[in-house]
């Protein structure tokens, strides 16, 4: 088996590949590593045929939907997953063939109702059901400590103890472990009595993950995160640097329009000399009156350089094909000591 491990912060994802057929699957892809998965697959001579999410993640952004769409392959999840983009739904005992590899699915609810563990040869991908030195939490939506108890003690812990464990998170960078090592050393697994285990899980006092709402919204619906929207807008927008814009506004007779898209109060407090003002929220309604020549060179400006990127992408879609955005925003412009006016 060809095997690659990817880490992004505490999140782990994996690529398993059959060396004979060159078929591969990605387990728990993270949205920021989509290019990396494809690059690594090519480097290993593999083609990805399945994108698998072990469960609905609440703490980070799944890349499953986007990666599967790029590759035109199915997203594999448990039957109970709320994600509308899961196109191949497994139930307990189902098996996927990845070339000559056999990927055996076990339904292991507890961390979430749709949690799966995946058995492949000498290893088990445990998602957030079993972590190194820990377990997934059970206090997030669809979590249930009683179900986690069964999934662990009456489920995966009864498998061959020599299995290597690869979880969806490894916050402490501990690498891999085995079921035997976890049974011996994992503190949470020492509570073998159901009531004690459930009581422990109900009193962990964990803080809520950052981006919980946004991660659940995107992972459950297939919608985009704000970062994805910004990246998509940036990919179709040319940028102009602070220095370049400063030089251009000094030139007389240029055809460049600096379009400030912040709110009126921010614009009135200080803006780039000569800038025109249309707040982002009114852009589509006012362009036909105020930007009558679609061939005009426009540079959008906002406070931090994000809303201006969205505004430039919108204007380009509307046909202003010489529209770009300032790389940075008024915050950087002022920090650089570049000229502003309140006129």
Instruction: Candidates 91-99, 123-131, 287-295, 307-315: pick the segment binding Fe ion (CB under 5 A).
Output: 123-131
Least Å from the CB of residue 152 to Fe ion: 15
| String of contacts with Fe ion for each residue 55-94, x by CB under 5 A | --x-------------------------------------
C-alpha distance from residue 147 to each of 93, 216, 315 (Å): 17, 21, 51
Backbone φ and ψ for 231, nearest 5 degrees, come out as: -65, -45
Least Å from the CB of residue 331 to Fe ion: 35
Asked if 128 interacts with Fe ion (CB under 5 A), we say yes
Least Å from the CB of residue 227 to Fe ion: 19
Instruction: Candidates 29-37, 102-110, 127-135, 173-181: pick the segment binding Fe ion (CB under 5 A).
Output: 127-135
Least Å from the CB of residue 195 to Fe ion: 25
Least Å from the CB of residue 318 to Fe ion: 40
C-alpha distance from residue 284 to each of 47, 280, 298, 302 (Å): 43, 8, 15, 16
- Residue 39 or residue 174: which is nearer to Fe ion going by CB? 174
How far, rounded to the nearest angstrom, does the alpha carbon of residue 161 sit from its chain's CA centroid?
A: 33
**Residue length of the chain:** 343
Number of residues that bind Fe ion (CB under 5 A): 2
Q: How many CA atoms lie within 13 A of 216 on its CB side?
A: 10
Residue whose beta carbon is closest to Fe ion? 128
- Residue 169 or residue 262: which is nearer to Fe ion going by CB? 169
**Contacts to Fe ion by CB under 5 A:** 57, 128
């Amino acid at each position: 088996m060809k095997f690659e491990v990817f880490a992004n912060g505490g999140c782990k994802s994996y690529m398993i590949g059959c060396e004979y057929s060159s078929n591969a699957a990605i387990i728990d892809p993270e949205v920021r590593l989509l290019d990396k998965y494809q690059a690594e697959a090519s480097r290993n001579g593999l083609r990805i045929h399945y994108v698998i999410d072990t469960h609905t993640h609440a703490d980070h952004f799944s890349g499953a939907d986007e990666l599967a769409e790029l590759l035109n392959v199915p997203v594999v999840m448990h039957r109970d997953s709320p994600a509308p983009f899961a196109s191949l739904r497994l139930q307990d005992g189902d098996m996927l063939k990845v070339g000559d590899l056999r990927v055996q699915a076990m339904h292991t609810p507890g961390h979430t109702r749709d949690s799966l563990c995946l058995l492949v040869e000498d290893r088990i991908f445990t998602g957030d059901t079993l972590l190194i030195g820990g377990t997934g939490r059970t206090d997030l939506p669809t979590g249930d400590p009683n179900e986690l108890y069964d999934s662990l003690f009456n489920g995966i812990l009864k498998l061959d103890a020599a299995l290597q464990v690869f979880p969806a998170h490894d916050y402490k960078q501990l690498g891999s472990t085995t079921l035997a090592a976890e049974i011996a050393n994992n503190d949470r697994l020492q509570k073998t009595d159901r009531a004690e285990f459930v009581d422990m899980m109900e009193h962990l006092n964990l803080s809520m993950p950052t981006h919980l709402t946004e991660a659940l919204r995107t992972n459950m619906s297939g919608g985009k995160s704000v970062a994805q929207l910004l990246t998509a807008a940036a990919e179709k927008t040319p940028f102009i640097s602070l220095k370049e814009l400063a030089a251009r506004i000094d030139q007389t007779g240029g055809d460049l329009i600096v379009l400030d898209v912040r709110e009126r109060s921010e614009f009135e407090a200080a803006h780039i000399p000569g800038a025109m003002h249309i707040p982002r929220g009114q852009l589509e309604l006012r362009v036909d009156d105020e930007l009558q020549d679609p061939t005009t060179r426009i540079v959008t400006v906002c406070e931090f350089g994000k809303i201006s990127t969205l505004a430039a992408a919108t204007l380009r879609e509307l046909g202003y094909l010489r529209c770009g955005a300032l790389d940075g925003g008024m915050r950087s412009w002022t920090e650089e000591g570049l000229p502003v006016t309140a006129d």
